[in-house]
Amino acid sequence: MICLAHDFLLDLKSTNGYVVDKIEGFTIDSSGQGFAVTDNDGVDDSSGETLFFKVDL
């Protein structure tokens, strides 16, 4: 069994804005590169940005 742990808070803070979202999806491709995505909630009090980014494992 393989166990992975990654603190996504630094990734979510990298845009220098508010961290109001959470990781909605995560995958690792065949070369071992990780990717994560947040969700665009599109509500009135949120910018509704969706982030898709690489995750160094």
Residue 42 lies in a domain: yes
Look at the block and give the residue holding tokens 């009135």.
Answer: 44
pLDDT at site 47: 67
User: Mean pLDDT over residues 6-30, rounded?
Assistant: 87
pTM of the model: 0.76
Number of domains in the chain: 1
CB atoms within 10 A of CB 1: 2
Residue 38 lies in a domain: yes
Residue 2 lies in a domain: no
Burial (CB count within 10 angstroms: exposed 0-12, middle 13-18, buried 19+), residue 8 = middle
| Of 38 and 46, the one with more pLDDT | 38
Which range has the top average pLDDT, 2-6, 44-48, 50-54?
Answer: 50-54
Q: What is the domain extent for residue 41? A: 9-55
